[in-house]
């Protein structure tokens, strides 16, 4: 189904993909939990490159007649899943940032109150 030249090119692209992900992890430009998401995506792509007939089987199970339409639908679904998981991660981080900001604000208020209280005590002596 896939010509050998194309399959080898796709495998080489996947190897570069994995190397890039691991380099980003090593440089700490991406954290481990995000790396796992992208490694999972790469493994899925690798399985489909090695066994392209799986695409035909999956598309047939869904009921899509055209292989290209099915491939586009699967690709869009995969991108949507990745976007949903990243949106979930961003939402959790946003909540953590909000909580930390509130905590810092309360601590600053306590520090100002403590400093004002100390100034009153030293000023009245």
pLDDT tens digit sequence for 67-101 = 788 888 888 988 998 899 889 989 999 999 999 99
CB of 1 closer than 8 Å to CB of 53: yes
Domain boundaries along the sequence of the chain: 1-51, 68-125
pLDDT at position 43: 93
pTM: predicted TM-score of the whole model, two decimal places: 0.65
Q: What is the dihedral of CA 51, 52, 55, 56, to 10 degrees?
A: -110
């Amino acid at each position: 189904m896939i010509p050998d030249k194309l399959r080898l090119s796709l495998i080489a692209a996947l190897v570069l993909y994995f190397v890039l992900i691991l380099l980003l992890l090593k440089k700490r430009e991406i954290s481990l939990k995000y790396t796992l998401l992208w490694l999972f995506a790469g493994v899925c792509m690798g399985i489909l490159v090695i066994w392209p007939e799986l695409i035909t089987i999956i598309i047939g199970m869904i009921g899509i007649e055209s292989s290209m339409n099915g491939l586009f639908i699967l690709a869009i679904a995969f991108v949507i899943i990745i976007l949903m998981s990243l949106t979930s991660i961003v939402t959790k981080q946003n909540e953590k940032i909000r909580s930390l900001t509130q905590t810092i604000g309360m601590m600053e208020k306590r520090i100002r109150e403590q400093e004002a209280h100390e100034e009153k005590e030293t000023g009245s002596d």
